[in-house]
Amino acid sequence: MQKKTPKRKQIAKILKKHNTWIGILFFLLIAFLAFAIWSGLVSAFVYYIAESKVMGEYKVISYMAELYEKTGSDESFEDLPDMETRDYIVTDRNGNVLYQRGEDTRGEVNAYLEFLGGSEPVKATADQSTNFFYTDEEGEMDINFSLFIPWFLSDELNSFVKKENGNSNFYFPLWLEKDIRNGSEVFYGKAYAEVRLNDAFFLLLFATVLFVLVLVVLVLILVNIITTAISQKRMVNVFFLDVVTKGHNWMWFLIRGEQILLRRKYSRNRYAVLDMVFVKYRNFCVCHSVEEGEKMLCTVNDRVSGMLANDEIISHYASANFAVLLHYSDENQLKERIGKIIQELEGMDGIHRIAFQVGVVTLGSAVETGRRGRRQLVDLEREYNNACAARATLSETDESGIAFFNEQLVSEQKWIDTVQECQNSALKNEEFEVYYQPKYDPRNEKLKGAEALIRWNSPEHGLRPPSEFIPIFEKNGFIVHIDDYMLFHVARDQKNWLDRGLDCVPVSVNVSRAHFIERNLADHIRDLVDKVGTPHDLLEIELTESAFFDDKKTMLETITKLREYGFHVSMDDFGSGYSSLNSLKDMPLDVLKLDAGFFSGDLDDERGEIVVSEAIKLAKSLNMETVAEGVEAKEQVDFLARQGCDMIQGYYFAKPMPKDEYEKRMTGSDLKTPSSDDSADGNSVSESI
């Protein structure tokens, strides 16, 4: 499985991990911590006030206990106004009352006041007339904060309000204990925790200000989270936006497509990936405008989107290409549905003729479940590339069509990769072999020339015909190296035969169309042949008719120079194109090769005979020799001889052969004409290389 580009995988991960809930959870966590801190600070402040008030009362009660312990009565309290009016009780260790002044209002809550930080814990008993103190779950006395609300909101607080000097303060009763007489008796004194209004106001102000600050911080955090989420959502939308169609782009297709394929609710669906192409889109833009072309792409995107289900998607890939994910039940139904989509798109503009080609790769059940019942992650980039490969098989036509990806395309692509990987080493190791196909004079059946053809004799892949690798070289540009290779080897063979005294005839070597656009080609060929020392007239430079449609000026200069240097120049495949006569008019050629298509049928047809005979007459009028290639039947040979054709190349006389066999033909030791069996093992028509 091909891997995604690292950058795309990283982007996909980042976008897929984006989730607003993460921000919300973060905010809730911060809010919880903030209010916990606020509550802790307020509680600490309250404890501080409570400690300061209770500790002051504890000192008074402790002093009363010491005086009582010394005097054994409360007579000493008479001179102390703050103690004279206080209620107190003295008990033994068993709780029996030994002395009492005032009402006994001690409650059941009895524990240490642990909130008094830093000082020795004070043992106290709550007053039963109030619930100001309570015992927590650990058995410790704590403050009931519910009483710290404004007193005018609670009738219960009115009982704790006393006025002194015109000021209303809160007094919360509490019994504090002090052991006397070596712990044999306990002195209980009634204390009052006084909370002044200014203390309460300050406490309320402190809590309010702190609460507002916490709230402001939380609001800012929340606003930041919301703003970030909105910005990120906009960024994601922009990132997934296709600027041409205003729909979705390729990255969205990859991420959304994988999500669809992995969802359980779609697990029963079979899916197909489509590469849909607007045929001749660039021509449409040239004839109209880029703006009109983009409007058409928008229409395509909208029309197809309207025909898709929830679990189907489309995105604009590039130029005129759209990626589509469809679900299907069987291939016939899929093909029928794609046909309807194409039909809908072809009719979207009533003026212009529009065609669409679609490459299809079916994912099928192979991706529905993987190991342990889990759905496998499909590499949509690879599958779309396969769909593009299938669609490319339709590129030679301008008509609408549908092509399905299959294993044959996989094999073809693997072979292309193999050829490209081996091309340099094969050239260096001279694995390419020159085969020669003789040309004979039809009137006396004498050898008059030959064409050099190529075979690849690979140690790993065996003997391969040119049709399996030459088209690949023509596409990747390696063909120019093959041209030089063939010219050098043919020149070397000719020089060798000439030195041995053999009667050499001209051998034609095909030079590719790509090579002919070079302005110094004639000098390059001359120098290459001169290194070997072969006479120029023993080499014929052959070019195809299609080469004439490139740079005619450069072509004419090259042909003129080649002829000046003594090379023969021929045009191959005459009659396969539509501008042959115009090419003959402009180019000074030496040899005209009649395309094998002229002789693939029956020459008894009067129209066919007229075309061939007139072509030969035309060539003779232009002082050109004629070669008929692809000739297989004696009747064809006889007809061409009557018409004055100079040479015949075809299976009737000889098939392409290794150099050793061709050498025998040159010496005349092998004059055997191939039988029908000899021509049955390959293509009967003449090869271009």
d(CA 249, CA 257): 12
User: For the packed helices 606-621 and 634-643, what is the interaxial angle rounded to 10 degrees?
Assistant: 40
Task: Tell me if residue 211 falls in helix, strand or coil.
Answer: helix
Write out the two tokens for 330: 């069987």
The number of residues in the chain equals: 689
Residue 278 β-bridge partners? 356
Task: Tell me if residue 138 falls in helix, strand or coil.
Answer: coil
Query: By CB neighbour count within 10 A (0-12 exposed, 13-18 middle, 19+ buried), where does 231 fall?
Result: exposed
Considering the candidates 381, 383, 629, 687, report the single residue annotated as catalytic: 629
Write out the two tokens for 507: 């051998």
Residue 478 β-bridge partners? none
Query: By CB neighbour count within 10 A (0-12 exposed, 13-18 middle, 19+ buried), where does 637 fall?
Result: buried
Write out the two tokens for 340: 């309807």
Question: Element (H or E) spanning 101, and its range?
Answer: strand 97-101
d(CA 188, CA 195): 22
Q: What are phi and psi of 151, to 5 degrees?
A: -60, -30
Amino acid at 387: A
Count of alpha carbons within 13 angstroms of residue 630, beta-carbon side:
16
d(CA 649, CA 593): 9
CA 510 to chain centre: 43
Residues whose CB is less than 8 angstroms from the CB of residue 489 and which lie 6 or more positions away in sequence, other chains included: 434, 452
Residues whose CB is less than 8 angstroms from the CB of residue 566 and which lie 6 or more positions away in sequence, other chains included: 535, 536, 537
The verdict on whether 629 is a catalytic residue reads yes
Report which of 654, 650, 611 is spatially closest to residue 631, judged by C-alpha positions.
Answer: 650
Q: What are phi and psi of 405, to 5 degrees?
A: -75, 135
d(CA 588, CA 395): 35
Instruction: Tell me the residue ranges of DSSP E strands in 329-465.
Output: 356-362, 401-404, 432-440, 447-458, 462-464
Residues belonging to the active site: 629
